[in-house]
């Protein structure tokens, strides 16, 4: 079994290649327990969560990395977010009146957003041209960094695993053939092995002739970043007039966070506070 609810980085001595392994179990169960997702959607959510954990290692500041798969079909959204401290959450939207037995990615978009706690967000968009999510990440790094990367993402509905190899800018004197050799070796790893073997065994199985350096595990756990303030900012988008209509009808505005099901409610005064520039009648 791969190391669960953790991310682990590794490097190869004297090469321009680095890698990461991710395993999710409790954090995946926490996400899946909030909604009754179809089985195929659980698998795609798990893969996207693994990818977000792998990608979060690129955060060089306090903040979060958000991945959205936006689709035109009965499944309209799959979203996973990981913060720089390893807090992970995810959600999917789909037509609950339909039977979902496949998730078609072709024709959709992968939206990658880096959200620093302070400062401007950065967003990259990749068209989904195959049903293999990993190819979209490889394309993203090719476009944005001009460097090779390979992603392997697996999920069986209970455990999600991710494996990433990335080429770094060339350093003089390093092994120039390393990228081709190491990525070729990685491609011999079977899906089942990625899901069931621990990190040391996976790396030994692939790279027993290489000098691999494995770093300490970094914990990943389910946690939601919602707050009354954030939910308030989100509902404020509806506008004061519409919110006051809800207050008149229901006495309050009730909202459940879709990620963690935490309940929030806003009375008339609290709704008014969301619009400091307008004076309440
Ligand atoms: Zn929440």
**b/e map of 120-155 (b: 16 or more CB within 10 Å)?**
eeeeeebebeeeebbbbbbbbbeeeeeebbbbbbbb
Rounded alpha-carbon distances, angstroms, from residue 141 to 78, 116, 146 = 20, 19, 7
pLDDT digits (tens, 9 = 90+) for 22-62: 999 999 999 999 999 999 999 999 999 999 999 998 888 89
281 lies in some domain: no
Q: Is the dihedral of CA 142, 146, 150, 156 positive or negative?
A: negative
Specify if 278 maps to a domain.
no
Per residue in 217-230, pLDDT (tens digit) is 999 999 998 999 99
User: Under DSSP, is residue 256 helix (H, G, I), strand (E, B) or coil?
Assistant: strand
For 149, the 3-state DSSP assignment is strand
Query: How far, in Å, CA of 31 to CA of 88, rounded?
Result: 9
C-alpha 81 to ligand 1 mean position (Å): 12
In a domain, 98, yes or no: yes
Query: Does any domain span residue 280?
Result: no
Assess whether 150 and 234 both reside in one domain: no
* Ligand 1 center to 213 CA (angstroms): 37
What range defines the domain where residue 184 resides?
6-222
In a domain, 177, yes or no: yes
Ligand 1 centre to CA of 235 (Å) is: 14
Please name the residue that has the structure tokens 């390893």.
86
Q: Is residue 136 located within the same domain as residue 248?
A: no
User: 261: which residues sit within 8 A by CB, 6+ positions away?
Assistant: 34
Ligand 1 centroid to residue 181 C-alpha, Å:
43
- The per-residue pLDDT for 238 is 92
pLDDT at 279: 59
Same-domain status, 59 and 189: yes
Distance 210 CA to ligand 1 centre (A): 44
The CA 68 to ligand 1 mean position distance, Å, reads: 17
Q: How far is the CA of 223 from the centre of ligand 1 (A)?
A: 8
Q: What is the pLDDT of residues 151-172, one digit of tens each?
A: 999 999 999 999 999 998 888 8
Residue 82 lies in a domain: yes
Percent of the chain surpassing pLDDT 90 = 88
The answer to the question of residue 59 being in a domain is yes
CB 247 within 8 A of CB 239: no
Ligand 1 midpoint to CA 121 (Å): 21
C-alpha span between 164 and 51 (Å, rounded):
9
| Same domain for 246 and 178 | no
As for how many domains the chain has, the answer is: 2
Catalogue the E-assigned strands of 39-192.
63-70, 75-83, 87-94, 109-116, 122-127, 149-155, 160-167
223 vs 14, 35, 157, CA distance in Å? 38, 16, 19
State the pLDDT at residue 120. Answer: 93
202 C-alpha to ligand 1 centroid (Å):
35
Q: How confident is the model at residue 190 (pLDDT cuts 50, 70, 90)?
A: very high
Is residue 173 very low, low, confident or very high in pLDDT (cuts 50, 70, 90)?
Answer: confident
- What distance in angstroms lies between residue 22's CA and the mean position of ligand 1's atoms? 23
Residue 155 and residue 21 in one domain: yes
Distance from residue 89's CA to the centre of ligand 1 (Å): 9
* Alpha-helix runs per DSSP H in the chain: 26-32, 39-56, 133-145, 178-186, 191-196, 199-207, 228-236, 240-250, 268-273
Name the band, by pLDDT with cuts 50, 70 and 90, for residue 2.
low
Q: Do 161 and 102 sit in the same domain of this protein?
A: yes
- Cβ neighbour number for residue 98 with a 10 Å cutoff: 11
- Distance from Cα 122 to the centre of ligand 1, integer Å: 23
CB atoms within 10 A of CB 106: 13
Is this model's pTM higher than 0.85 or not?
A: yes
129/240 same-domain check? no
**Ligand 1 centre distance from Cα of residue 136 (Å):** 28
Mean pLDDT score of the chain, rounded to an integer?
93
Residue 45 C-alpha to ligand 1 middle, in angstroms?
17
Same domain, 55 and 182: yes
Summarised one tens digit per residue, pLDDT across range 251-264 is: 999 999 999 999 99
Those residues with Cβ within 8 angstroms of residue 240's Cβ, 6 or more apart along the chain or in another chain: 271, 272, 274, 275, 278
Instruction: State the CATH number of the domain containing residue 102.
Output: 3.55.30.10
Q: Are residues 233 and 216 in the same domain?
A: no
Q: What is the CATH number of the domain that holds 237?
A: 3.90.1280.10
For residue 182, the CA-to-ligand 1 centroid distance in Å is 40
- Ligand 1 center from residue 124 Cα (angstroms): 25
Domain assignment present for residue 121? The answer is yes
Pairing state of beta strands 63-70 and 109-116?
Answer: antiparallel
Give the containing element (helix H, strand E) for 266.
strand 263-266
What is the reported pLDDT for 218? 95
């Amino acid at each position: 079994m791969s190391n669960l609810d953790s991310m682990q980085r590794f490097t190869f001595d004297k090469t321009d290649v680095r890698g990461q392994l991710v395993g999710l179990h409790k954090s995946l169960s926490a996400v899946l327990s909030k909604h009754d997702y179809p089985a195929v959607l659980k698998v795609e959510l798990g893969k996207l969560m693994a990818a977000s954990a792998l990608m979060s290692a690129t955060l060089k500041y306090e903040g979060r990395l958000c991945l959205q798969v936006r689709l035109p079909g009965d499944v309209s959204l799959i979203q996973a977010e990981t913060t720089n401290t390893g807090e992970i959450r995810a959600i999917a939207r789909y037509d609950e009146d339909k039977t979902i037995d496949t998730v078609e990615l072709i024709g959709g978009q992968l939206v990658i957003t880096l959200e620093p706690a302070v400062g401007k967000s950065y967003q990259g968009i990749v068209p989904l041209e195959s049903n293999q999510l990993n190819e979209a990440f490889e394309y993203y790094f090719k476009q944005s960094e001009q460097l090779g990367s390979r992603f392997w993402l697996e999920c069986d509905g209970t455990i999600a695993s991710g494996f990433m190899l990335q080429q770094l800018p060339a350093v003089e004197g390093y092994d120039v053939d390393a990228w081709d050799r190491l990525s070729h070796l990685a491609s011999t790893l079977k899906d089942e092995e990625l899901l069931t073997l621990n990190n040391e065994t996976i790396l030994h199985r692939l790279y027993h002739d290489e000098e691999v350096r494995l770093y300490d595990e970094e914990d990943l756990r389910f946690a939601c970043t919602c707050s009354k303030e954030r939910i308030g900012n989100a509902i404020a988008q509806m506008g004061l007039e519409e919110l006051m209509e809800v207050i008149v009808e229901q006495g309050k505005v009730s909202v459940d966070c879709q990620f963690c099901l935490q309940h929030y409610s806003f009375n008339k005064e609290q709704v008014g506070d969301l619009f400091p520039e307008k004076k309440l009648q």
